[in-house]
Structure 1
Amino acid sequence: MIEHLQQYWLEFLTIASVHLLAVASPGPDFAIVLKHSISFGRRAAIITSVGVGVGILIHVGYSLLGIGIIIKTTPVLFQIFSYVAAAYLFYLGWGAISSSAPKNITNVEVEKVIQIISDKKAFMVGFLTNGLNPKATLFFLSVFAVAVSPDTPNLIKLGYGLYLAVATGVWFCVLSLLLSSKKVTIFIGKKGYWFDRVMGVVLILLAIKLVMPV
């Protein structure tokens, strides 16, 4: 029993370490949370972060069911998946680039200006950005194939997945809080459309990278 627990802890620490490096690296999730923080403020960014975390459960689900292996070993399916993800990122990026500069506003008016996205939409954008991220697919397939033993019960694997979902959501929520302090909010409320456009370019470049041959 103790040997099994030690095995699971080693697996967990390995997964947690790899995940920390993966989630901290720039990617679609980071870009969309930063974009929402700049464009819509703290609340929207946090809800988007929660959506990103919940999106992890999609990858957990198909990894446990073995569907991910089918996607990975069927080039056509994976290519279709990549094109859908690229189209979605391009859509988000184009919308960001098309954003217009705000009119002259006072500091008091800034917070009212940036709250223009519904909670539902913010959540769904975060959820779909992560759920349609092929990099997340490859991450889960690699981690569950290399770091996790085939003999590990699905219940333990589910526990790993739930941790990854919570840890991802918490990471981006903290990032959202850091990006939405009062001074930062006032600054990005007036000049944030430039950052918004930059993030739009980043999202489009990520979309292009997804469909470019390796």
Structure 2
Amino acid sequence: MLSYLDEFFLIVIAHFFAVASPGPDFAIVLKQSVQHGRSNALWTSAGIALGIFVHVAYCLLGVAVVLSQSESLFNALKYLAGAYLLYIGIQALRAKAATGPLEEIKHDDKQESAFIALRRGFLVNVLNPKATLFFLSLFTLVISADTPSSIQAIYGLYMAIATWAWFSGLSMVLSKPNVRQFFHRAGHWFDRGIGVILVGLAIRVVAQ
């Protein structure tokens, strides 16, 4: 493993900038944290981390090479991802103003089950072309073809854990009562703003 430290450090740096940059994953964690609370956002973060394993799996199986060489297949993935982001964005755009005090949003925390939150995070990540492009580049340009599959799997495990830790940390901060109270005052405008971002991301995904 020591002989692959240089390669691992490159992956750590590349992954950090990828996970920290704004995108669909960040938008959905932000939305879930404010709308549904800490527990829901943590499950969403776990779903995003599980999505990483899908990207790693198809890269290890060689599907990444097929995707990188098949424009029609990659475009199909883009359109599917764009449709899903557009669906979530339109739902957010339809948000209505809160009519009760802050305490009432606590009831929203239980409206969406852990499974639905997990699935939401998983689908957003798996259908994110930005993530697909990142892993395509990582496994074809950064990681050597001579690196054993077992070592590559360890890289993947690290990225999944690091992704979970990053978004879980964001969930803890964004779901604090004072943060939720701030957004609750103009919650419908916040939801609509997130909706605009998600619709914009959907258009950008398809247009790229």
TM-score (norm 1): 0.93
Aligned residue identity for 2:26: F
Q: 1:43 aligns with which of 39, 45, 56?
A: 39
Q: What SS does the aligned partner of 1:170 have? A: helix
Q: 2:115 aligns with which of 114, 120, 123?
A: 120
Aligned counterparts of 2:103 and 2:135: Cα–Cα separation in 1: 44
Q: Percentage identity across aligned positions? A: 46
Q: 1:206 aligns with which of 194, 198, 201?
A: 201
- Count of paired positions: 208
Q: What SS does the aligned partner of 1:150 have? A: coil
Rate the CA distance shift 1:153–1:66 in 2: closer, same or farther, 3 A.
Answer: same
Q: 1:157 aligns with which of 152, 159, 164?
A: 152
Aligned to 2:91: 95
Offset, 1:180: 1.0
Offset, 1:116: 2.1
Aligned counterparts of 1:15 and 1:211: Cα–Cα separation in 2: 27
Q: Is structure 2 residue 166 aligned with structure 1 residue 174? A: no
Offset, 1:114: 4.4
Aligned counterparts of 1:186 and 1:84: Cα–Cα separation in 2: 35
Aligned residue identity for 1:27: G
Rate the CA distance shift 1:56–1:104 in 2: closer, same or farther, 3 A.
Answer: same
Which sits farther off after the overlay, 113-122 or 156-165? 113-122
Offset, 1:113: 3.7
Q: What do residues 107-143 of structure 1 show as CA deviations (whole Å, max 9, x unaligned)?
A: 4333224442111111101000000111111111111
Aligned counterparts of 1:97 and 1:50: Cα–Cα separation in 2: 25
Aligned counterparts of 2:58 and 2:108: Cα–Cα separation in 1: 40
Rate the CA distance shift 1:81–1:113 in 2: closer, same or farther, 3 A.
Answer: closer
What are the ranges of 5 or more consecutive residues in structure 2 without an aligned counterpart? none
Mapping for residues 185-196 of structure 1, pairs under 5 Å: 185-196=180-191
**Cα RMSD after superposing both structures:** 1.3
Aligned counterparts of 1:197 and 1:80: Cα–Cα separation in 2: 28
Aligned to 1:68: 64
Mapping for residues 14-25 of structure 1, pairs under 5 Å: 14-25=10-21
Aligned counterparts of 1:129 and 1:112: Cα–Cα separation in 2: 25
Q: 2:54 aligns with which of 58, 62, 68?
A: 58
What are the ranges of 5 or more consecutive residues in structure 1 without an aligned counterpart? none
Q: Is structure 2 residue 137 aligned with structure 1 residue 142? A: yes
Aligned counterparts of 1:168 and 1:37: Cα–Cα separation in 2: 16
